[in-house]
Amino acid sequence: MPPTAPHPEPSGTLPGIPVVDITATGPGRTPIQQVMELMRTHGPVLVRRLHGRDAMFVADADLVADLADEERFAKHIGPALENVREFAADGLFTAYNDEPNWAKAHDILMPAFALGSMRTYHPAMLRVARRLIDSWDRAALDGRPVDVPEDMTRMTLDTIGLAGFDYDFGSFERDEPHPFVRSMVRCLEWSMARPARTPGEDHSAADASFRADAGYLAQVVDDVIAARTGTDQSGAEDLLGLMLSAPHPAEGTTLDAANIRNQVITFLIAGHETTSGAMSFALYYLAKHPAVLRLVQREADALWGDTPDPEPTYDDIGRLTYTRQVLNEALRLWPTAAAFSRHAREDTLLGGRIPLRAGQAVTVLAPMLHRRPVWGDNPELFDPERFTPEAEAARPVHAFKPFGTGERACIGRQFALHEATMLLALLVHRYRLHDHTGYRLTVKETLTLKPEGFTLTLTPRTPDD
Ligand code: HEM
């Protein structure tokens, strides 16, 4: 058993904390939304019981602030991430805190994610943004709808491929998503569903198809690495260059071959899946809120005027502050990596009142944290004004946690925000968005969240739009 495993026995009832047994129904295909509903009924702290196993979920801002205390709590690899370890092992996302390769890879790869490094990735991000625009121009011309989450996934996969690994997935040249995406989604679904299995059932077919998918992902990773090995990496500043050749700043050794494979798979997945969902939700809210869309368009127009094909500079992206507010607001309502877990380093009292034993885990449910009273009377309302600098300064820092917390927080946050802010501004600068189906939001869960079946039709904007 890994050193960070939860206590195997049920936590038992704790005074004032509801225990909700979902064994009769199971978590279904939307476990995050199920816990959201449970919290709407039972409040922001609860224990979910499934087949006698307990998991504590919290969304209370004070408790989340306490869980952010790195002295007393650390990242927890819960059952779903244990399953992701079957194909990503000790890659950064799924490594145990005390696995030596976590700190080693973190130190080696951090420079690739400093804000300044985004300058290096900017040209690749723009190149892929243009692929998306070419594809959407063709759809607009033919009056064809575009599948928003599918195209955002094409865009983010090609971006992490090119920017991180100089590897071209060529997703816009395919009618169907790249097979990497299909296999990855199935592997994530398997990881999410496996902890909810009823004991005694036969899942050998699902496990065999998982192994086939994981094998295919490994094959893609090998292709990505083979395209570069043997070439001189000394000047390569991208992720793969650092993985293959950068020595650790203190101890001087490089990452080993097995760990490089785990990092490549980790970054190919973590580097595109969540950003794609965030872009899709942002476009969904813009399509539903014409006044907000107008403001984003105004911000892009102020930078790029009527130029049909603007050439955004790296510095332009920092000026798109309202666009960034829109993204934050979309991530507030639907943080696409919706839950993260922490465990107590020693026996402690969470928030001064909930006894936890060393190793015991608590999962933060970000979508409900992001709907707490601190967000005002109408937290379901999409309103980017919540992210003006003044509003942000007035709010407790731990009220907004779409990127996790502490030293295990998202390493790719700046990457995601740069990529998504630029693309969102380019798209609204160029197109009118038409909600041609009167889309009603359905959120699909595959460990991450995405709006399912969301399509738009587009027309080019004219100078008077
Ligand atoms: C970790 C969210 C984009 C790479 C995390 C965590 C969250 C998160 C919540 C912490 C998980 C935990 O505590 O268990 C997001 C969201 C994104 C995004 C919402 C987009 C909107 C990216 C991108 C990359 C990336 C673009 C890479 C280019 C990673 C990695 C980790 C991580 C490697 C693990 C870090 C560590 O433990 O050392 N992300 N992420 N993410 N993310 Fe992201």
**Which residue out of 410, 415, 421, 454 is catalytically annotated?**
410
Nearest CA to ligand 1 atom 5: 410
Q: Looking at residue 12, what is its pLDDT?
A: 54
Give tens-digit pLDDT for 114-158.
Answer: 878 889 999 999 999 999 999 999 999 999 999 999 999 999 999
Give tens-digit pLDDT for 423-448.
Answer: 999 999 999 999 999 999 999 999 89
- At 275, the amino acid letter reads T
Angle in degrees, CA 146, 149, 154, rounded to 5: 85
Residue 188, both tokens: 């994530």
Share of the chain above pLDDT 70, in %: 96
Give tens-digit pLDDT for 92-108.
Answer: 999 999 999 999 999 99
Output the average pLDDT for the chain: 93
Q: Is 412 in the pocket of ligand 1 (CB under 6 A)?
A: yes
Pairing of strands 354-356, 339-344: unpaired
Band (pLDDT 50/70/90 cuts) for residue 6 is very low
Nearest CA to ligand 1 atom 21: 275
180 is catalytic: no
Whether 49 and 23 have beta carbons less than 8 Å apart is answered as yes
Q: Is 270 in the pocket of ligand 1 (CB under 6 A)?
A: yes
Band (pLDDT 50/70/90 cuts) for residue 2 is very low
Q: Looking at residue 399, what is its pLDDT?
A: 97
HEC secondary structure over 414-442: HHHHHHHHHHHHHHHHHEEEECCCCCCCC
User: What single DSSP character describes residue 178?
Assistant: P
Q: Looking at residue 4, what is its pLDDT?
A: 36
- Cα 391 versus chain centre, distance: 24
- Specify the length of the chain in residues: 465
- The dihedral over CA atoms of 177, 181, 183, 189, expressed in degrees to the nearest 10, equals -120
Place of tokens 């920092």: 318
Ligand 1 atom closest to the CA of 91, numbered from 1: 33
In whole angstroms, how far apart are CA 462 and each of 164, 171, 298?
Answer: 36, 29, 13
Give tens-digit pLDDT for 62-85.
Answer: 999 999 999 999 999 999 999 999
410 is catalytic: yes
Closest to 55 measured CA to CA, from 364, 349, 350? 364
Give tens-digit pLDDT for 308-325.
Answer: 899 999 999 999 999 999
Pocket test for ligand 1, best of 274, 363, 415 (most atoms within 8 A of CB): 274
Residue 84, both tokens: 């992701």
Q: Looking at residue 228, what is its pLDDT?
A: 83
Whether 411 and 106 have beta carbons less than 8 Å apart is answered as yes
Q: Is the pLDDT of residue 23 over 60?
A: yes
Other Cβ atoms within 10 Å of 252 Cβ, number: 7
- At 273, the amino acid letter reads E
16 against 287, higher pLDDT = 287
Tell me if residue 192 falls in helix, strand or coil.
Answer: helix
Q: Is the pLDDT of residue 293 over 50?
A: yes
Q: Looking at residue 1, what is its pLDDT?
A: 35
Give tens-digit pLDDT for 36-46.
Answer: 999 999 999 99
Closest to 118 measured CA to CA, from 318, 398, 361, 410? 318
Angstrom distance (rounded) from CA 416 to CA 33: 24
403 is catalytic: yes
Q: Is the pLDDT of residue 5 over 70?
A: no
Q: Is the pLDDT of residue 25 over 90?
A: yes
Angstrom distance (rounded) from CA 317 to CA 300: 10
Q: Looking at residue 232, what is its pLDDT?
A: 63
Q: Looking at residue 3, what is its pLDDT?
A: 38
Angstrom distance (rounded) from CA 3 to CA 317: 42
Q: Is 275 in the pocket of ligand 1 (CB under 6 A)?
A: yes
Q: Is 161 in the pocket of ligand 1 (CB under 6 A)?
A: no
Whether 363 and 58 have beta carbons less than 8 Å apart is answered as yes
Residue 428, both tokens: 């609204």
Rg over alpha carbons for the chain, rounded to the nearest Å, is: 22
The H-assigned helical ranges of 144-238 are 148-165, 179-193, 204-226
The average pLDDT across 356-361 equals 96
